[in-house]
Structure 1
Amino acid sequence: MSFPIADWPDVPADLIAEVRDFIRIDHQADDAAIDAFLRSAASLCEDFTGQMLIARSVTDMLPARQVWQKLKRLPVQSISAVERVAADGNPSILAVEDYAVDIDSDGIGWIKLQHGDGGSRIRVAYSAGVAPDWGDLPAGLRQGIVRMAGYFYANRDGVDAGGPPSAVTALWRPYRRMRIG
């Protein structure tokens, strides 16, 4: 459920420097590669934890129903717009009184239509993410991403030293959200 790596927010220079320090290199010649490795590591972290790391805008398409429906990404920070999408694809913004929203204590976003008026789908725009930016990530997630990027750097020539470090999953496991069908 991860986003394409290109959709990630810019990686700050201090995070690239943190990886350089971790892998013990003192030049900046490989910063572009380290940036790509950080993005890949962050994407793996999102997949492992089941949560978006950096808050980003998300849009879900859901069936137009008068029952509570879960939004797909976690943790939801805010729900900004709800549109009805007609069968011909034309959207129309719903009035606030036409739907109910909730964000529960686990960061799960919920939406329910109040009235059924023949629309086939709804489009929900919202923001989801653990932290507003890279610097605000919890230390365990950030350190796991740095270690994973370091592992990718060390094994970039196809030589695998036995799989990713187990410390990475140990750092990420406390943040893991399991979703059951």
Structure 2
Amino acid sequence: MPAAAAAAADYLRLGEAEAVLVRATATALALAEAFCGQRLIVRGFEQTLVAAPGWQRLAELPVRAITAPAAGAAIDIDGHGIGWVRSGAAVTVAYSAGLAANWDLLAAPLQQGVVLLAAHLFEHRDGRAEPPAAVAALWRPYRRMRLAAEARP
């Protein structure tokens, strides 16, 4: 997130990212991930799955790699970046998920939306102004929505 905070600081023409701006940027990035329904910057996750006979879906998207499956567990990552695990026993799975390896590799519209929202949160710390509509417009092409539960054959 330091790169995102630096980008927002540049946008606001601040010499140095202040603590308030760092918090606003972290919030903007978290809101972007919630809006888009996927992780933007790759990072690690652990998820414990209960014993089940069929395939179980990993929670975070898009899965890049499943790094620590339990012995005897079958794993797969489908073409949509959904991670799947099948195991007859309860397992804890370590995996990485995210669209881009770092801030600099994130798509420009996602970056700009985070910067605009961070700047908005910084400039309107009193919370009295609506966020810019452009933020949602920038993020909308990257939004993943679930209309029904995915089932693995």
Asked if Structure 1 and Structure 2 have the same fold, meaning a TM-score greater than 0.5 normalized by the shorter chain, the answer is yes
- Aligned equivalent of 1:3: none
Superposed displacement of residue 27, structure 1: 3.2
Instruction: Tell me the CA shift for residue 26 of structure 1.
Output: 3.9
Structure 1 unmatched ranges of 5 or more: 1-9, 84-93
How large is the Cα RMSD of the aligned pairs?
1.6
What is the one-letter code of the residue matched to 2:102? D
**CA distance 1:123–1:159, shift in 2 (3 Å):** closer
**1:123 counterpart = 2:92:** yes
- Aligned counterparts of 1:66 and 1:152: Cα–Cα separation in 2: 46
Partner of 1:18: 7
CA distance in 2, matches of 1:41, 1:35: 10
Q: CA, structure 1 residues 65+26, in 2 after alignment: closer, same or farther (shift >3 Å)?
A: closer
Q: Deviations 1:139-162 (Å, cap 9, x if unpaired)?
A: 111000000000001111x1522x
Give the corresponding residue for 1:35.
22
Q: How does 1:1-181 map to 2 (within 5 A)?
A: 10-12=1-3, 15-23=4-12, 25-28=13-16, 30-83=17-70, 94=71, 98-113=72-87, 116=88, 119=89, 121-156=90-125, 158-161=126-129, 163-179=130-146, 180-181=148-149
> Number of residues paired by the alignment?
148
TM-score (norm 2): 0.89
Q: Return the TM-score normalized by structure 1.
A: 0.76
* Secondary structure of residue in 1 paired with 2:54: coil
| 1:66, distance to aligned residue in structure 2 (A) | 2.2
